[in-house]
A and B are shown apart, each in its own frame.
Chain A
């Protein structure tokens, strides 16, 4: 069975808008996430991807349908905290997630809430800070860090809870390119080295390219999903829903329109250069 199973979930923010039927933020989504997977969920602002993210750790409960995390239904109130211990959620604004005035004390916040022994908290905090490469900053004040560093501390704060899966809701949206790079490198390392399941909600197509699986959402529904190659080769479908594709894919797609014959659509620049090099020879 999948680690997270989302079964036909519907959700809307107010169900009584003057008797008018309101648009569902999540409109019948069925999706599963396997252990150790790196899944990217992409889509426009307001496509329901952030709402979906909050369903994964029982911050929001579905109006109908079910979300099952490691065998537990999120709507079961007795399981809420177990689920939040298993699935950590990192939010968009790094400033608003750090609650203590010192980095290491902030990272300790999660395990402190769980009632973990002090010596064990110390060990977890050091481990989590090392995992995101922020150990040297453990005595710093959060407001003196850069955006990327803050977001890495926020990730460490979730890691210290020792979840099995980490869900990130547009963690790089407020960061500069350097910060984005730092966060993405960290996430891939966690996924590769610690076997952490990662669900990355983003609207940057470049970030989705490096995932194991890409889920495209539009108007609260899953539009398409598959490996990055499968998803981004459907250039026409993505364009129809005003979604970007990686530049390399876009270029080759246009060349195909002009009569180029290739066997697949490249996603990275290097791949694209190699392919075009071969074609030109």
Chain B
């Protein structure tokens, strides 16, 4: 069940997008996400959508995984676009009871839908092509300047990478506990919502207890391996920017430029 979730999964590969420096990917991704919300006409929306399509194709990951992550948010997309569709202001082109359809509403719905889809597809492309370790590494290195103001960058990155390491282990454990409780006659699949939530308690409590015990063990193991915080630590893998990374910056910059130009030259539709 939990394991079928496509969003946030990593698929190893050798595509251009896979090979990009995670820091470059991260910076471009953040710029892109912000850019998505600065599209005010169809030309700029088109640029953003085209770029999304480009990274999906260049990433070389099967489309079915993207559909899977889209399926998860289908409901959100539907609700938001419907709300936008019928709550637009302006001259109604069609009206029935309290529901009225306006051009502004149609535009708004189209924008919201495309924006959310691009957002999900781009984030999926990022996590599909970047290993969790690379991601936390990138975050640690990008936030490094903040450690000057005593922001615990190393500690946060270490927590993130430990959390990511133990997600599969804890999932396995949850499965085991559920089976153990079922074997003792626990009923988790019937009854109303309240009853089902209550039936989670005998799973969560043992899970938490074991997670705490695990945490103690891990801390001991880390100390045995001479871990004493981020100071004086080196890394085996050094990240080095290469031509392709600068190329990704240039592409992102061009896209930002394109969107800005479109926004200036063309009138906003929303």
Contacts and interface: CB of A to CB of B under 8 A. Distances in A.
Interface in B166-180: 168-169, 172
B236 A161 contact: no
Interface string A55-79: 0010100000000000000000000
Interface string B225-250: 11110001111111000000000000
A231 to B, nearest CB: 28
Interface residues of B, number: 29
Interface string B130-149: 01110000000000000000
Contacts, number: 95
Contact of B234 (A59, A81, A105, A118): A118
Contacts of A118: 234-238
Contacts of B220: 59, 91
Interface string A87-127: 01101010111111110110011111111111001100100
A138 to B, nearest CB: 11
A85 interface: yes
B236 A96 contact: no
B226 A161 contact: yes
B133 A113 contact: no
Given A101-B164, A157-B225, A91 B217 contact: yes
A142 interface: yes
A241 interface: no
Given A105-B133, A113-B226, A143-B169, A96 B234 contact: no
B223 interface: yes
A111 to B, nearest CB: 8
Contacts of B162: 99
Q: Is the interface of A mostly helix, strand, loop or mixed?
A: helix
Interface string B28-61: 0000000000000000000000000000000000
B214 interface: yes
A97 B169 CA distance: 12
B221 interface: yes
A112 B236 contact: yes
A98 B225 contact: no
A99 B237 contact: no
A91 B221 contact: yes
Interface in A113-157: 113-118, 121-122, 125, 141-143, 154, 157
A158 interface: yes
A114 B237 CA distance: 15
